[in-house]
Chains A and B, each alone.
Chain A
Amino acid sequence: MALKSTPRFKLMNLAGWGNVPRFNSAVYRPERSPEVASIVARREDASIIARGLGRSYGDAALNESGDVLIDTRLDRFLDFDPATGTLECEAGATFDAIIGAFLPRGFFPPVTPGTKYVTVGGAIAADVHGKNHHRDGSIAEFIDGFDLLLAGGQAIRCSRQENPDAFWATLGGMGLTGIIQTARLRLRKVESAYITVDYKRTENLDQTVAAFADGDENFQYSVAWIDCLAGGAALGRSVLIRGNHAKAADLPPDLRDHPLTATRRRKRSVPFNFPGFALLPFTVRLFNDHFYATHEDGRKTVDYDEFFYPLDSVLHWNRIYGRRGFFQYQAVFPAAAGSRCLHELLEKLSGSSRASFLCVLKTMGKGSGGILSFPREGQTLALDIPNRGGHTVEFLRELDQIVLKHGGRVYLAKDAVMTRQSFAAMYPDLPRFNQIKATLDPERRFSSSQSRRLGIGEKA
């Protein structure tokens, strides 16, 4: 008699990182790779979507009344070539684990979002970008290929040469083409675990935009923290934070002996959802003033955690927005419209009482070729907006209208409220994506709450 177990699911009420919205799903979490195919093939009528560490903010990794497949237990490294830095791994491997295993050998993720608690599968599905987008592009540039499991249970190899349509539809395709099982990713060679950072304060938006234009090419990483409560003459005042990987020889003497080992800090955690009054405009005002005042112009050497992942040092930081959660809003708009679009957005934000901590502005380089990928040349603005009920959604949709007017688009990994009309206008390549999806997934088995809200994958 053979021992066997049928894949079991758990009924869970899941949310994205913003904690809003929440939906019930049947959740699978396989520990052996062939189980993924049997879970997908198990029910021919049910919708299913892959999920990693749940760091997308809205409903991209949610599936109301459908199935969700969490791949975090399939997280193994399968091959590594130190000559090229090419790592083959299962899709559930996290950036945190990659840094832990490879930074001591002098390798770092070539592109990283603002958290290391993301999986490789999730990074591909969102075609993530980081502070080096203006120079290096998104993660797509460093993905050599991946194996994609289709609805029928068979896997196909995807790369720029093999099944290129599936490759470019899956990069940025939010998991809607299938389930990424393994991926090949080129890591970056680094000499140290440290970044040499230059801080530069600006007093208004014009100065900020000018500061970016002047000298961004000298920095691999570049971002500005904007005070989006500041209005009037101080509208758009910022702290530019730009840096390069520190060479071992440039480190202070006390760090030079172990250049690839950063000191580990104790992690703090937000133990419960904060009450609503914690984020009154004046508390955020105080925080922003403090941040601006304490970041004087100058140069510092900081470790990678402090530079790339300041929020990761506080586990569950999303709880400070309370039980009702928050929306993260990120848009990119062409450089030509950049200044005008930024002005309008910031004026709308500082004029509303919707407190947001510092928001983030950066310059983006060329897009990757991912059909639904977010990044494109121009400027991108990202900010948090606490959920205060019905009007919040209207407010976000008004922001969408401003972005749309200036030829910009909103990031699917952050979005929770966009309308179909706005989405179709922002992503003109949607029909081509739908065409490829129709050949890969004719029964439309792979869908999420987000894809149904936005009509992604539907027949024309």
Chain B
Amino acid sequence: MQSFVDSRPQTSPAGETVTGAAVPSGNCVLIIGASSSIARAVARIFASAGSDLILAGRDIDDLKRTAADLRIRSGRRVDIVPFDAEAFDTHESFWRECQTRGGGALAGVVMLHGHLPIQSEGQSDLRIARQAIDVNFISAVSVLTFAANDFEARKSGFLCVFSSVAGDRGRQSNYVYGSAKAALTAFLQGLRNRLSRSGVNVLTVKPGFVDTAMTWGMPGLFLVATPEKVAADVHRAIRRGASQIYTPWFWRYIMLIIKSIPEFIFKRLKM
């Protein structure tokens, strides 16, 4: 495989011109859950902005293809490290491996892995609900604990974690998933509070409806955003050190309305 280095500013898939300003060239970003379409779009922006990448996930064949694509597009170094969210006892060695591959100085972590269970199954089978909580919450806590301690000690790095608008208010249509994301959001708030003193930024991303395999064919979606739009928003938020973003932005106001509905009315709604 031939690699190319083009130092001129590149144009991101979102059509926005990006420079490598925020993440110094040669610095390496770890993307966890790198097989999703949002993760691929995030990786393309980081690579074209001059970052090396580590892609982590379970589907190694898929990650190999994405890594080849990123190398050809950007000429950056792209590594793959296997990651299984449910294999908690592997997370420490996973983190060490990523640290080593990143030359001991990962610029940051973008964590996108997740699992949307079928709500009706989650409410009748604890194993399904537990799995959703394990993948969406506990595994994030597990990896973030290692990452936060390392970044805190060296006083640099960013942690960008995908939560969801579903965590802003529990609804009957997906409260198992939503509750795990709500717990994640609260965990990230606390972590941000702790790490702010160390210069480590924690960014919580709350995407609305995004046009991905996860939502394809679901009824009742509206204002659906492209993965490229979400990725551009996320990259911009990381560069400016934001704490929390809704993407696209108007979801902040949609969720403000949903959160402000009094519970005695909300509980009667079909949401």
**B135 and A30 contact, CB distance less than 8 A:** no
A44 to B72 Cα, complex, angstroms? 38
A90 to B135 Cα, complex, angstroms? 30
Number of interface residues of A (CB under 8 A): 28
B27 at the interface (CB under 8 A from A): no
A104 at the interface (CB under 8 A from B): yes
Q: Min CB distance, B75 to chain A, in Å?
A: 10
Knowing A3-B115, A31-B37, the reply to whether A78 touches B216 (Cβ < 8 A) is: no
- Could you say which residues of chain A place their CB within 8 Å of the CB of B72? 77-80, 101
Q: Which chain A residue lies CB-closest to B64?
A: A78
Q: Annotate B11-46 by CB proximity to A: 1 below 8 A, 0 otherwise.
A: 100010000000000000000000111000000000
A73 to B61 Cα, complex, angstroms? 16
Count A-B contacts at CB 8 Å: 64
A133 to B6 Cα, complex, angstroms? 33
A10 to B66 Cα, complex, angstroms? 25
B92 at the interface (CB under 8 A from A): no
- Could you say which residues of chain A place their CB within 8 Å of the CB of B217? 8-11
Selected from A5, A29, A76, A100, the residue in CB contact (under 8 A) with B65 is A76
A34 to B8 Cα, complex, angstroms? 36
Q: Which chain B residue lies CB-closest to A2?
A: B86
**B6 and A76 contact, CB distance less than 8 A:** no
- Could you say which residues of chain A place their CB within 8 Å of the CB of B86? 3
Counting contact residues on chain B (CB < 8 A from A), the size range is: 20 to 34
**B69 and A77 contact, CB distance less than 8 A:** yes
A33 at the interface (CB under 8 A from B): yes
A105 to B135 Cα, complex, angstroms? 42
A452 to B95 Cα, complex, angstroms? 55
Q: Annotate B226-252 by CB proximity to A: 1 below 8 A, 0 otherwise.
A: 000000000000000000000000000
B271 at the interface (CB under 8 A from A): no
Q: Which chain A residue lies CB-closest to B131?
A: A1
Selected from B62, B73, B127, B216, the residue in CB contact (under 8 A) with A32 is B62
**A31 and B212 contact, CB distance less than 8 A:** yes
A45 at the interface (CB under 8 A from B): no
- Could you say which residues of chain B place their CB within 8 Å of the CB of A11? 217
B-facing residues in A86-126 (Cβ within 8 Å): 90, 100-101, 104-105
Q: Min CB distance, B93 to chain A, in Å?
A: 21
Q: Which chain B residue lies CB-closest to A35?
A: B213
B265 at the interface (CB under 8 A from A): no
A391 at the interface (CB under 8 A from B): no
B2 at the interface (CB under 8 A from A): yes
Q: Annotate A310-342 by CB proximity to B: 1 below 8 A, 0 otherwise.
A: 000000000000000000000000000000000
A82 at the interface (CB under 8 A from B): yes
**B213 and A104 contact, CB distance less than 8 A:** no
- Could you say which residues of chain A place their CB within 8 Å of the CB of B73? 77, 101
- Could you say which residues of chain A place their CB within 8 Å of the CB of B216? 8-10, 29
Q: Which chain A residue lies CB-closest to B69?
A: A76
Selected from B1, B11, B36, B131, the residue in CB contact (under 8 A) with A31 is B36
Q: Which chain A residue lies CB-closest to B217?
A: A10
**B127 and A1 contact, CB distance less than 8 A:** yes
A105 to B11 Cα, complex, angstroms? 14
- Could you say which residues of chain A place their CB within 8 Å of the CB of B59? 32
A sample of 19 more A-B contacts (CB under 8 A), given A8-B217, A32-B62, A73-B213, is: A1-B127, A3-B86, A3-B131, A3-B135, A10-B217, A29-B216, A31-B35, A31-B36, A32-B35, A33-B61, A73-B37, A77-B72, A78-B65, A80-B1, A81-B2, A100-B11, A104-B6, A105-B4, A261-B8
Nearest 9 interchain pairs by C-beta: A76-B69, A10-B217, A8-B217, A77-B72, A31-B213, A77-B69, A80-B72, A78-B68, A76-B65
Pairs across A and B, CB under 8 Å, 16 listed: A3-B86, A8-B216, A29-B213, A29-B216, A30-B213, A33-B61, A33-B62, A33-B65, A76-B66, A76-B68, A77-B73, A78-B65, A78-B68, A78-B72, A101-B73, A264-B15
